Amino acid sequence: MNKYLKQFAVLFLTAIIAVLVFNQFQEPTIINHEVIVEKNIGIALEQKIEQLKQELINDIDRSETPNHNRDDLVIVLDPTNANKSKCKQTGGVRLYCYSIGNFQWQLVSLQEEYLKHYGMKLTDREAFEVANDYDQARELTYKVVFAESKGGIYRWLNTSKKIDAVKRIEFIRSLEN
């Protein structure tokens, strides 16, 4: 028995020495946990930023057209609109300004922003259809609010004050930088 125990011990020690010698010639495998964590945090942060942006757009929708859903045809006439130059005219007679859809786009404003962001000039009819298409109006609103340096939110001046949009946008931008 003693003989077999000695042989086992010699083989065991030889195997350990062989492993140690072999490992000396191998490149060390280092897992950089900091990089993995940083990457995951970056992904989580991007998702959180997008969530904050979507929540802001939801708040614009709810504030502009409370008690209406995406399928309602919402048209609001505004005879006191301060920016009369943006109102449509027919036969030289200035009409009341009206805001259309859940995001309350005025046709002239929508046409200006659509041209800026998509490079296409819309007719009044096409602009009316975009304003009433919830998904298209939402996408354009998102672009106007977040693609422009600062002023896009002021297309919804009263709403921006009510939902504290300027501070929220500044916070979102600070997370992006």
pLDDT in tens, 95-126: 557 889 999 998 888 999 999 999 999 998 99
Please check whether residue 68 is in contact with residue 161, taking contact to mean a CB–CB distance below 8 angstroms.
no
User: Could you give the CA distance from residue 62 to residue 51 in angstroms, rounded to a whole number?
Assistant: 16
User: Could you give the CA distance from residue 137 to residue 72 in angstroms, rounded to a whole number?
Assistant: 13
Residue 94's beta-bridge partner residues? 89
Amino acid letter at 117?
Answer: H
pLDDT class of 165 with cuts at 50, 70, 90? very high
Cα distances from 107 to residues 76, 146, 161, in angstroms, run: 12, 20, 22
